[in-house]
């Protein structure tokens, strides 16, 4: 009979036991030690339930590129999942508040198309949405932390704290607080506070911050410094309630995110070191924290943090671009997508958006914004579109103020200068990038003096062939017959006539090549005659806009060279 010996450690059995019919089976014992919690899946790209997100700016300045990106990311994931996007104003720093910053913030967000579902001017079930109006709530929660022992009052004066930090810095020690007030008995602390003694409320952080899961960086915490270091009397106890009774960011954002039922917080990596403190508060309150995703900082090509010199200027300065282009540009700053093209409308951004962000800093270059602007504006550069009409007005103003271009009134149609500008923009919108320079590039639509064919070096025999071709085609069209169809036919027949002329006397094997080059040569001569060789819209569109009289005159001038 075969008998089984189950071992927990050494895989050894003696020979007599083998002879007696025992066999060896090794089973590893389960560890009873505390194990690290199982990691959530590394790639969490789209929440499986509606996300409630928020953008919580401070009105201490205007909306900048980085803050617009934060707002956009939170907006997109909320809309992608059918959730809500909240706007919350963190206005507790009254000393640094800029008077018109709040209204500018509303205007810039709405210009960008980021309408909030809950917040100021909109309302919602979890208001008010300004922190200055929620002070009683923060004090209540600070009292809860005091009662539970997770916080304590600190009566140290600013002078004492400054001297402490200076002394510890000279000794090469951490400048964290030394918890002088942490052991003040609660009765004494309550009494001193009731007597009006100035104090702040500090969070009593745990000895070691536990690791946490970030949707961008995975598990974070292995490299974190200990929250406390009793050996050096150093304690990372942040202030929650200031001496004026107003909350700091740490307390206010945790309390508000919980009460407003925020499920996802997308913010810059500069807040990553503060996250353990926030999680310590969630744990102290017994609350479930939201999901955190920290995105990389925006830097210039040299790796420096953005400043006013290199694109980090307030969003109102970007209004020279289309909001769709700016949103598209901002969305690509640290977001990794699978779309076939980088060019996306807001609807496409919502459809394709995920929480798949790149790690590390994000380089910002204006060339990408210009590229996206060119693509997006093509959708708007059509007559009747408000953007098209706005550009036309700007171009007309530039012409009227530009001394270099003398407009020939006889070149214009009945609609005058604005009609001509509108026609030029309509037929060559693909080459429009910005108003500056566009008129100079198309000056031949406004002035005969802009045409200079003297540099065109055409052999007499070649020019004679062009003359024959045009006299049989273009120069036979009457003014009332100057239409799209007649011009198409004239171009075709002109190229055929030129091909026949070029193929005379050539061997059969070379005639095909001559015929092939005749069409290209026809276009080149037409462009030289009509615009002096300048690039621009298609030749057929140029013929139509300039009209019969102008084109005939310029063709005859060219043929007389």
- Band (39; pLDDT cuts 50, 70, 90): low
| pLDDT at 172 > cutoff 70 | yes
DSSP state of 271: G
Nearest to 107 by CA among 134, 87, 90: 87
Q: Say which residue, 415 or 329, is predicted with more confidence.
A: 329
C-alpha distances in Å from residue 3, one per residue of 13, 20, 27: 13, 9, 16
Active site residue 79: no
Q: Which residues of 265-280 are buried (b: 16+ CB within 10 A; e: fewer)?
A: bbbbbeebeebbbbbb
In degrees rounded to 5, what are phi and psi of residue 30? -75, 140
Beta bridge partners of 87: 55
The mean pLDDT of 162-179, rounded to a whole number, is 92
CATH topology of domain 458-559: Arc Repressor Mutant, subunit A (1.10.10)
Tokens read off for 19: 């002879």
Residues 488-540: pLDDT tens digits?
999 999 998 888 887 776 777 776 777 777 888 899 999 999 999 888 999 99
The mean pLDDT of 31-60, rounded to a whole number, is 72
Computed over every residue of the chain, the mean pLDDT equals 88
- Band (34; pLDDT cuts 50, 70, 90): very low
Least confident of 36-40, 74-78, 134-138, 389-393: 36-40
| pLDDT at 3 > cutoff 70 | no
Q: Count CB atoms within 10 A of the CB of residue 63.
A: 24
Residues 227-252: pLDDT tens digits?
888 888 889 999 999 999 999 999 99
Q: What pLDDT is attached to residue 44?
A: 67
The mean pLDDT of 72-88, rounded to a whole number, is 98
Q: Whole-angstrom Cα distance, residue 464 to residue 297? A: 65
Contact 555, 476 (CB under 8 A): no
Q: What pLDDT is attached to residue 35?
A: 39
Q: What pLDDT is attached to residue 535?
A: 86
In total, the chain counts a number of residues equal to 561
Residues 261-316: pLDDT tens digits?
999 999 999 999 999 999 999 999 999 999 999 999 999 888 888 765 556 678 98
Q: Whole-angstrom Cα distance, residue 99 to residue 111? A: 20
> What are the residue ranges spanned by the domains of the chain?
1-29, 46-133+296-377, 386-449, 458-559
Q: Say which residue, 43 or 386, is predicted with more confidence.
A: 386
Tokens read off for 470: 């045009």
Element spanning 293, H or E: strand 291-295
Q: Which of 39, 198, 308, 484 is catalytic?
A: 308
Least confident of 60-69, 78-87, 110-119, 454-463: 454-463
Q: Count CB atoms within 10 A of the CB of residue 198.
A: 12
Q: What pLDDT is attached to residue 308?
A: 56
Query: Residue 128, preceding bond cis, omega within 30 degrees?
Result: yes
- Band (403; pLDDT cuts 50, 70, 90): low
Architecture of domain 46-133+296-377: 3-Layer(aba) Sandwich (3.40)
Q: What pLDDT is attached to residue 309?
A: 58
């Amino acid at each position: 009979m075969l008998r089984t010996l189950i071992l927990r450690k050494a895989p050894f059995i003696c020979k007599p036991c083998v002879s007696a019919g025992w066999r060896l089976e090794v089973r590893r014992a389960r560890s009873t030690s505390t194990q690290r919690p199982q990691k959530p899946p590394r790639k969490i790209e789209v929440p499986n339930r509606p996300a409630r997100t928020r953008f919580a700016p401070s009105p201490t300045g205007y909306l900048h590129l980085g803050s617009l990106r934060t707002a956009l990311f939170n907006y997109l994931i909320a809309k992608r999942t059918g959730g809500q996007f909240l706007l919350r104003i963190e206005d507790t720093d009254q000393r640094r508040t800029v008077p018109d910053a709040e209204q500018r913030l509303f205007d810039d967000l709405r210009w960008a198309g980021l309408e909030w579902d809950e917040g100021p001017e909109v309302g919602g079930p979890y208001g008010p949405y300004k922190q200055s109006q929620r002070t009683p709530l923060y004090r209540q929660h600070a009292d809860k932390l005091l009662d539970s022992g997770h916080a304590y009052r600190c009566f140290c004066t600013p002078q004492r704290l400054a001297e402490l930090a200076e002394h510890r810095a000279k000794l090469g020690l951490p400048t964290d607080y030394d918890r002088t007030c942490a052991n003040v008995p609660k009765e004494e602390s309550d009494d001193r506070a009731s007597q009006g003694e100035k104090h702040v409320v500090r969070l009593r952080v745990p000895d070691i911050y536990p690791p946490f899961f970030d949707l961008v960086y995975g598990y974070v915490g292995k490299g974190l410094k200990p929250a406390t270091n009793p050996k050096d009397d150093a304690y990372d106890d942040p202030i929650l309630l200031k001496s004026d009774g107003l909350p700091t960011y740490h307390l206010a954002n945790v309390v508000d995110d919980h009460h407003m039922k925020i499920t996802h917080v997308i913010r810059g990596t500069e807040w990553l070191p503060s996250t353990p403190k926030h999680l310590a508060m969630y744990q102290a309150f017994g609350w479930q924290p939201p999901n955190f995703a920290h995105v990389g900082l925006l830097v210039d090509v040299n790796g420096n943090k953005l400043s006013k010199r290199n694109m980090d200027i307030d969003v109102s300065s970007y209004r020279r671009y289309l909001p769709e282009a700016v949103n598209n540009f901002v969305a690509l700053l640290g977001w990794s997508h699978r779309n076939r093209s980088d060019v996306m409308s807001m609807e496409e951004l919502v459809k394709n958006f995920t929480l798949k962000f790149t790690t590390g800093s994000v380089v910002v270059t204006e060339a990408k914004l210009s590229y996206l602007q060119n693509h997006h504006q093509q959708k708007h550069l059509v007559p009747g579109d408000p953007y098209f009409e706005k550009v036309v007005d700007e171009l007309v103003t530039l012409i009227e103020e530009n001394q270099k271009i003398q407009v020939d009134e006889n070149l214009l149609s009945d609609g005058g200068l604005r009609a001509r500008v509108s026609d030029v923009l309509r037929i060559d919108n693909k080459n429009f990038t910005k108003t500056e320079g566009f008129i100079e590039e198309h000056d031949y639509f406004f002035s005969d003096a802009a045409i200079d064919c003297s540099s065109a070096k055409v052999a007499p025999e070649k020019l004679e062939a062009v003359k024959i071709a045009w006299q049989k085609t273009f120069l036979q069209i009457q003014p009332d017959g100057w239409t799209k169809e007649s011009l198409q036919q004239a171009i075709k027949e002109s190229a055929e006539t030129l091909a026949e002329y070029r193929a005379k006397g050539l061997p059969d094997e070379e005639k095909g090549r001559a015929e092939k080059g005749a069409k290209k040569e026809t276009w080149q001569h037409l462009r030289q005659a009509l615009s002096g060789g300048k690039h621009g819209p298609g030749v057929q569109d140029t013929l139509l806009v300039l009209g019969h009289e102008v084109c005939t005159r310029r063709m005859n001038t060219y043929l007389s060279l």
